[in-house]
Structure 1
């Protein structure tokens, strides 16, 4: 649910016209959908600010609020789109009349579910004290149990509607397993739970239930605020700004738009946290541009799918699963960011190298970038040095005002802004004249608000998390408020000093009407910005609403598995099956994580595999946070793993390429991603960070990734590699990635020396290959191949 109603008009007349063009049922439902969505985001921001009650009550309110919104929006979609919302072969094989009847009946069902969800939420929230006090001693009433069962059913049904049958069937299966455990064979057998127990553990026993458990609470407390931040960012057009900046960068690179696609997908994927949604949004722009550059269709889909998937592990936001990981482990969110930074850089470094090798091997370079110095010119150009200087000025001014002058945070930000404006004026005055300095200052301000204004809320996000080490909820609150404030300042500033306002109606220039006064134009602009802000509130809430159901369903699944003892049995069986061998346990965990991730959103897949698989890995000596990152990594990579590969499926449809062919190329580009998690276990300092161990391990693993990518692409940046060269690079890559695994045989020091030696040999070989200094006997062929 990424589209919201009324996405174009911002003027009062346009909004009114668009509203009255709708059918009567749409006009009846749309105000309620809009009100619910805006209210949900408003409530989330309010809770982050005031914290008026406990986390569990907040989770209950948010769950029922979000679930009611989801069903209400489904009813609106049924009314607005008619039979186009029919999904599934069972209904679609019938005629139009049957489909129309189905849509109408389902709309009524969704409206009824909205009311039931809201009523159940009111009942449980208002009866919280009784249900967590007297009811435990005196017993639960039939109404408590009935509504508890209804809530479990609604959570699973919402999951089915939002994400298909895969997760819903797991939820139904977990309930059936809890009820009929005595009928299962072997270690799966247990005494069985009654329907009353399932209802209590599912929802009615509030503080120890699955629906209202820690997963739902984490979603309401940590995930929601960032999902809503993403909705605001999209409503404000920040995606378009990022893509525009990426295109400008692409004109300076030989690889052209290809690396731009990787960078933009990385940036947006970190915010959205969904491989499929990211591939659909950024891919709709980047895939056609890559094809115009000459990149083959299957490679365009593969590049976009792999880049979109990896955004979920890229700090500082890391999608939504990272918030759940922080709650799972009980660690500060900044610790999750620190642990995930090098693995994320490794993944995107491997993707960037693979894309570069593929572009050079098949001759897909950009003509626009041929006459430039490429990435080095971009990084060390005069313009880049000026940007670095202003960044240093901003950091210095903020540090001086905050630490030396001891100013409050807000005043420190104002002082930093003043220092930047003064510096830009002096810069312009020196380059031109005193009056020219003022002109250049105005032009610089206009250019900033047109292209780089989103850096302000991102800087607030990073500072709040990394420096102030605030909670994720407080960080999200300040980031959202900063983004809203920046947008109001931006729109008014561009109206006053810019040449072209965003909407003609703001200045009264539409339809040949006379131009209004400046005050009237500013008021109109503030109204337009408010409309965009409310649309952002709607987008964020509607994006979060489907996730509410799946988080609750995952809570039910995990509760059923823990109450029946299955999770503990699986841990013991996994350790026994691995025979105490860590490598086997890691491979089993990898396969299970990918299997559970097929067709599931990453947060749901991660929660399930983390509950089942991290304990046995820790028993075999893997650090807790490394174990969680390991399964998280593979749950993410399931988006590019056949037979489902949702990221590839979306990208291949946009690229008009075959699914299996695109999936094959995605595996070639992303193959290093499947081996990096194992290197994290072997090189634990990449996650835990030590003064001496981390730099050495990072150097070796990064070089190993380059060598491994050369093996999978069959190209080293200059030469096509044959089988012998691939074998050599593969051996060197494995040594650089997994050298410390030999510590038990040759000792830690010798193993580290072997790792550094293989990495050094690989790096020297790759460097000599680029310079054509390899001996002729071992120099690969130079011709290009188109297959």
Structure 2
């Protein structure tokens, strides 16, 4: 989904002038897009606070508002860009006059769909009581059934427009399978559903329909508020700050900018939830910087693609699919965070080690980097001071909250007061009162320029992990905190820094600046911040709008598969095909998850494979959350799996490298990610968390991942590895990752001892290799570098 051109890039003083300079049709459509986008975000925040009606009605309202916004924005783009939005292989062959005609017709179709979607939504929402009451007993009218089919068609069309034909064809195929099931062979055959059944199960039977089902409800209730939080973060410039902080860290590491790509993609991917969007956003910055460091084009594309794909499993936000997983499994969202934490750390640990080994092997270290190691950075004086202040903040908050029994807002305010007082006292003790005030003001200014986003993130983590609020309530408090912090930040910098807004308000990706020569005032600054906030509302709604259609389409697909009985048949067939062997079932689930994930956004792929594949895995003894994480992991990894590999495709275009070569390097860097899900099944304590089992499993698997990375990269950090050394490390890797599988043959205690022993041997070998202390007989004799 593209951004809305330059409509939000104007300064407050030029806002009306910018609108008046546009053609009338464009101005009207832009005003409607802005109004509807801001209204959608405002409504989402209002529902999170007030919850005036049931979840299903909220899902219906949200769906039709989102669809209306999506088609309205498409119409606006067609008016602004004309034939440049026509990319169909058939239409593009005709001359420009035909393409203009198609663009105009499509604009009319989009506008008509806006009216139809809004009208149908009004009909179903206002008729909810009848549709769930009298109509169930007396029967549905022809209008009810017709409008139900209309909603299904709109959802599939919106999916096609937003994400291409891959998901749309699956949706269309599911409807045709439901209608003509009697003509299919073998176990695929069923009696067939009527058009009335498709309308009922698709939308009209609202409480048990596909379009308005739990997937759409989960999207409206959980997903939307966090995507809109991401929109605000972009408008406020927080993602740029994350990139800047990552670059500062990268300058102090020997590997240079490569870990900037990993860290920034991890942070942004957790919020955006899209490998392609993440690669496009962070890759546009990190890939050129990696190339300037000397990293080859195919490797720079591969590093960014792999790092971008994993953000979707990184807590606390985990993109979109985690909220759907919580609904699937029926557990609190915080339980999903707990289960996904170690797998996510494993993935990014493996990626970090892989890029480190790659950079060292090829000699692509940063010339600007200091000789400071990661341990010196972590335990430097400045780092310890930061840790001390965080400890002080946590202790002060706990004391005020628990002992003083104050509200959340008052406790947070008191904590900030304690920190400020401590900073002032530090300045007074070290210098003087005047210097203490100066140091305090400088600290406040530096914090609000670079790290103010830590406050809403702390609220997010505290609300989820400590207070264990619902995802909706957590999202609400996080969004409100972010908005409040932004107003305080802007006013504080204005008062303390005495700066005009054109020097520091820019922040966002397309900037907000004031006309030169005008001095900032508090009322004007409040207006500027309000404009940025509304821009964030608009960005969040526009990011959410295309996802609304695909969630509804996935609901239709799942409903058709369950009503025809196909999902149950696939489960039985899969168990039978595996012959009761868990490994075979896991491999089949892996292949199916990757296959369904090719070309699909991860949430859509996850929903589909979760409905089909988790049940047979559970029948073979896999815990429910582990089964869901298993298929989710591979749906995520489809972003770097050829032949589609959307993450690699985006990154390779930015790096100007060969897609296939970049995909090969991405598989080498991310190969550990394909084995980690199997390790989760073998070491269930990594997901379920036990007092004794989790530390042992975490130690063994983390070391196994390092050894596996050495095998795939062919480098141990100091030496290029030959075939014998690779085989030795591979054997240790398999035992360290999958040792518990042997427990039914040699006993749990022996299996655990064997697993820990293999991990220890691998750790000792890798450590001695770094120190060049390996005995000569086992020291790799290959050359030190492959340049």
In the other structure, the counterpart of 1:546 is 546
CA contact (8 A) 2:500 2:519 kept: no
Deviation at 1:506, TM superposition (A): 9.3
In the other structure, the counterpart of 2:324 is 324
In the other structure, the counterpart of 1:430 is 429
CA contact (8 A) 2:181 2:191 kept: yes
Q: How does 1:100-499 map to 2 (within 5 A)?
A: 100-369=100-369, 371-498=370-497
Deviation at 1:426, TM superposition (A): 1.3
Change (3 A) 1:413 1:349: same
CA contact (8 A) 1:2 1:539 kept: no
Q: How does 1:511-530 map to 2 (within 5 A)?
A: 513=517, 515=519, 521-530=521-530
| 2:589 alignment partner, SS class | helix
Deviation at 1:495, TM superposition (A): 1.1
In the other structure, the counterpart of 2:82 is 82
In the other structure, the counterpart of 2:773 is 773
Deviation at 1:515, TM superposition (A): 4.0
Deviation at 1:781, TM superposition (A): 3.3
Q: Does 1:630 align with 2:630?
A: yes
Q: How does 1:494-509 map to 2 (within 5 A)?
A: 494-498=493-497, 500-503=499-502
In the other structure, the counterpart of 1:602 is 602
Change (3 A) 1:768 1:510: closer
TM-score normalised by L of structure 2: 0.98
CA contact (8 A) 1:174 1:557 kept: yes
Structure 2 CA distance for aligned equivalents of residues 448 and 288 of structure 1:
29
Alpha-carbon deviations, 1:116-138, whole Å to 9, x = none? 00000000000001111111111
Deviation at 1:513, TM superposition (A): 4.3
CA contact (8 A) 1:618 1:627 kept: yes
In the other structure, the counterpart of 1:63 is 63
Deviation at 1:28, TM superposition (A): 1.5
Deviation at 1:14, TM superposition (A): 1.6
Structure 2 CA distance for aligned equivalents of residues 87 and 235 of structure 1:
29
Structure 2 CA distance for aligned equivalents of residues 165 and 504 of structure 1:
45
Change (3 A) 1:649 1:495: same
Deviation at 1:428, TM superposition (A): 1.7
Change (3 A) 1:723 1:153: same
In the other structure, the counterpart of 2:532 is 532
Alpha-carbon deviations, 1:92-143, whole Å to 9, x = none? 1111111111100000000000000000000000000111111111111010
Q: How does 1:553-632 map to 2 (within 5 A)?
A: 553-632=553-632
| 2:501 alignment partner, SS class | coil
Could you tell me which runs of 5 or more consecutive residues in structure 1 were left unpaired when the two chains were aligned.
none
Bigger shift: 494-503 or 309-318? 494-503
Could you tell me which runs of 5 or more consecutive residues in structure 2 were left unpaired when the two chains were aligned.
507-512
Q: How does 1:29-48 map to 2 (within 5 A)?
A: 29-48=29-48
Change (3 A) 1:513 1:769: closer
Deviation at 1:510, TM superposition (A): 6.8
Bigger shift: 239-248 or 13-22? 13-22
Aligned length in residues: 782
Structure 2 CA distance for aligned equivalents of residues 584 and 771 of structure 1:
41
Q: Does 1:751 align with 2:755?
A: no
Deviation at 1:783, TM superposition (A): 2.7
Alpha-carbon deviations, 1:158-187, whole Å to 9, x = none? 000000000000000000000000000000
Structure 2 CA distance for aligned equivalents of residues 107 and 482 of structure 1:
39
Structure 1 CA distance for aligned equivalents of residues 392 and 429 of structure 2:
17
Bigger shift: 202-211 or 3-12? 3-12
Deviation at 1:21, TM superposition (A): 2.6
CA contact (8 A) 2:490 2:505 kept: no
CA contact (8 A) 1:6 1:15 kept: no
Deviation at 1:16, TM superposition (A): 2.0
Structure 1 CA distance for aligned equivalents of residues 13 and 774 of structure 2:
71
Structure 2 CA distance for aligned equivalents of residues 167 and 484 of structure 1:
36
Change (3 A) 1:479 1:580: same
Structure 2 CA distance for aligned equivalents of residues 355 and 781 of structure 1:
23
CA contact (8 A) 1:243 1:264 kept: yes
| 1:13 alignment partner, SS class | helix
In the other structure, the counterpart of 2:510 is none
Change (3 A) 1:511 1:606: closer
Deviation at 1:231, TM superposition (A): 0.4
TM-score normalised by L of structure 1: 0.98
Structure 1 CA distance for aligned equivalents of residues 727 and 5 of structure 2:
56
| 1:777 alignment partner, SS class | coil
Change (3 A) 1:137 1:354: same
Structure 2 CA distance for aligned equivalents of residues 237 and 695 of structure 1:
38
Q: Does 1:675 align with 2:655?
A: no
CA contact (8 A) 1:718 1:782 kept: no
CA contact (8 A) 1:704 1:734 kept: yes
In the other structure, the counterpart of 1:698 is 698
Deviation at 1:505, TM superposition (A): 12
Structure 1 CA distance for aligned equivalents of residues 781 and 107 of structure 2:
64
Deviation at 1:4, TM superposition (A): 2.8
Deviation at 1:205, TM superposition (A): 0.5
In the other structure, the counterpart of 2:710 is 710
Deviation at 1:693, TM superposition (A): 0.2
Alpha-carbon deviations, 1:342-375, whole Å to 9, x = none? 0000000000000100010001111122x43221
Structure 1 CA distance for aligned equivalents of residues 254 and 516 of structure 2:
46
Deviation at 1:377, TM superposition (A): 1.6
Change (3 A) 1:2 1:229: farther
Structure 1 CA distance for aligned equivalents of residues 67 and 749 of structure 2:
56
Change (3 A) 1:138 1:510: closer
| 1:221 alignment partner, SS class | helix
CA contact (8 A) 1:78 1:103 kept: yes
Structure 1 CA distance for aligned equivalents of residues 561 and 318 of structure 2:
28
Structure 1 CA distance for aligned equivalents of residues 518 and 714 of structure 2:
65
| 2:354 alignment partner, SS class | helix
Deviation at 1:251, TM superposition (A): 1.1
Deviation at 1:12, TM superposition (A): 3.2
CA contact (8 A) 2:202 2:556 kept: yes
Q: Does 1:645 align with 2:645?
A: yes
Structure 2 CA distance for aligned equivalents of residues 368 and 271 of structure 1:
31
Alpha-carbon deviations, 1:703-742, whole Å to 9, x = none? 0000000000000000000111100000000000000011
Alpha-carbon deviations, 1:53-111, whole Å to 9, x = none? 00000000000010010000000000011111111211111111111111000000000
Deviation at 1:19, TM superposition (A): 1.5
In the other structure, the counterpart of 1:721 is 721
CA contact (8 A) 1:363 1:784 kept: no
In the other structure, the counterpart of 2:509 is none
Alpha-carbon deviations, 1:583-611, whole Å to 9, x = none? 00000000000000000000000000000
